[in-house]
Amino acid sequence: MHITKSYKTTFILLLLLLVVLWFLNISLGSVSIPFKDVFSAIFNGEVSKDTWQTIVVDYRVPKAITAILVGAGLSISGLLMQTLFRNPLAGPFVLGISSGASLGVAILILGASLIGGISAFAFSSFSMAIAASLGAFLVLSAVLIAASKVRNTMSILIIGLMFGSITSAIISVLAYFSSAEQLQQFIFWGFGSLGNLSWNELTIFGVIFIIGVSLLFFIIKPLNSMLLGENYAKSMGVNIKRTRNIILITTSILTGVITAFSGPIAFVGLAVPHLTKLVFHTSNHKILLFAVAIVGAILMLVADMIAQLPTSEYTLPINAITSLFGAPIVIWLLVRTKKIT
Amino acid sequence: MLKQSILKTTDLQIGYTSKKKQLSIASNIDIEINEPKLICLVGKNGIGKSTLLRTLSKVQQKLGGEIDIRNKNLELYSSNDLSKVMSLVLTEKLPDSNLTVFELIALGRQPYTNWIGSLSQTDIDKVKESMQLTNIEDLENKKYYELSDGQLQKVLISRALAQDTDIIILDEPTAHLDVQHKMETFVLLKKMVDELGKTIIISTHEIHLAIQSANELWLMIDDEIISGNPQDLIKDKSIEKIFSSDKIEFDSEKQQFTLK
């Protein structure tokens, strides 16, 4: 068959897996609730205990939805970065974009004490999302400008790492001057957490997420021609500047809003596109964008299930889980395939 | 009626701009193409062949003068308009990806596809046609990184063909190829001119092959570009100006440069 495969069966299987994992994720937790009651809680049925209803509807369902948004968004950002920088090791975390988002949040949480009086405004989730997106945008723009001066893909990664270091340093300085209480708040945020989002916050998250993702429909075709490099893309009629700007904005919005609501989560953006390409042997973004979103969501649901340590009362920081599993996956990929695409 | 011109430059100056300085590489370039031809741009390393081709294809900005493509100023072309008139084969290495040969060639149809890039039957036919012409149908489902240099060059030429443009510009298409593939490439390009009426401009160091197959040579030397029929350029000894070394000379019998 000469036309690009459509991978219909694979998509259906993955979607099924996603739904199953979503239910499984909701069923697991520190309080054990029977499947039957979880089901009826979601579908407005009779639940044996009122507290179970609250736990499922107000805590577990929002958390599971957050996991899906975070996994999908970070993976899409990672794919965009890898195509834009023509670099298989690019991702929102490696390029310092997540750190930029953290900086935005740090200035908001920690800097609030320096300015004073605006803390009520500062801690609203909406302003956190904006600050994080702006921070992400700032760092990504800086990396893009630097990238236009150097051709070497390795240098671009190092430049990204340096920007990451700079933002971390600024955060340390801010932390030094803040009160213990604020510091604690910031550190907990930094562990990353998918829970603790109210339905209101989740709505804001969802709306911003959808705005970011819908911009992508304008650049599916240009993204494919970028696979041959910018000069070829241009010669095939692609408006490079416009494409680059849309990638810049989408990635900033997605990474920003995700970081604001769930903390800086590492490795998902870098690892998922590669894992996805093990199943989908294609570079067609029409397929890949959906594929990485689903795989990313699945992975995040699994990571969250591991994090809540079934049958125990503890919940591990999600960031630790993604790094523990993500870093070895990347190393394994590099060693196994030698040539990664 | 306006004379039908395919490509024309007036007083063109090429080079690089950095911060405030302009580094001019060549100026006063006046060249004109009025009918489909195979044109070989020859000259020594660093003389500015790639810069000229990049400027003609708007990959790089010109420093001065005018370029007209089909009687219309190059500046007035949007990149989408230009992509239907001119296609490129570049020397740069392709970034890693999972593209198959078919997909890579099909990207050449992008100027004609809808917003999401779906291929119509016409697009598929064009892709097939260009694969047939370059004789690479059996590679269709291979990943492009599995190909040899010679095969990849054919695929890239095939992609340019699929873009269905009057003008195709190739920057050193034979650089990494062995003698057989070098010759095959020239034969293929000649066929594209003769059978499909394409205008093809290539830069090359294969002076011997260029003399045999080109309709026109552009000799790029220090202060000018001399254009003309290969045999005429040999006769009036212009071709000897390409190299300034006293260790080599042009042998008009063998039609190539030899050691003294």
In this structure, is residue A107 part of a structural domain?
A: yes
Q: From the centroid of its chain, how far is CA A90? A: 14
Q: What confidence tens digit (pLDDT) does each residue in A223-259 have?
A: 999 999 989 999 999 998 899 889 989 999 999 999 9
In this structure, is residue A53 part of a structural domain?
A: yes
In this structure, is residue A300 part of a structural domain?
A: yes
CB atoms B88 and A232 under 8 Å: yes
Residue A44 lies in domain: 8-337
- DSSP letter at A194 equals S
The fraction of chain A above a pLDDT of 90, given in percent, is 35
pLDDT at position A119 is 52
For residue B162, give the 3-state DSSP assignment: helix
- DSSP letter at A330 equals H
In this structure, is residue A3 part of a structural domain?
A: no
Q: What confidence tens digit (pLDDT) does each residue in A36-62 have?
A: 888 888 887 677 788 888 888 888 999
CB atoms B107 and A239 under 8 Å: no
* Separation of alpha carbons B131 and B108, rounded Å: 12
What does pTM read for this prediction?
Answer: 0.89
In this structure, is residue A176 part of a structural domain?
A: yes
**Chain B residues in contact with chain A using a Cβ-Cβ cutoff of 8 Å:** 57-59, 78-84, 86-88, 90, 92, 94-100, 102-104, 107-108, 110-111, 113, 115-117, 119, 124, 140-141, 145, 163
Q: Which of B97, B108, B116 lies nearest to residue A220, judging by beta carbons?
A: B116
Q: Look up the CATH number of the domain holding residue A115.
A: 1.10.3470.10
In this structure, is residue A161 part of a structural domain?
A: yes
- Interface confidence, given as ipTM, is 0.92
Q: What confidence tens digit (pLDDT) does each residue in A166-183 have?
A: 988 998 898 888 888 888
Q: How many domains does chain A have?
A: 1
Written as six digits, the tokens of A323 are 């790094």
b or e along B6-16 (b: 16 or more beta carbons within 10 Å of the residue's beta carbon)? bbbbeebbbbe
In this structure, is residue A238 part of a structural domain?
A: yes
Query: How confident is residue A2, by pLDDT bands cut at 50, 70 and 90?
Result: very low
* Separation of alpha carbons B42 and B205, rounded Å: 6
pLDDT at position A179 is 83
Q: How far is A289 from chain B (nearest CA, A)?
A: 13
CB atoms A283 and B103 under 8 Å: yes
* Separation of alpha carbons B151 and A272, rounded Å: 32
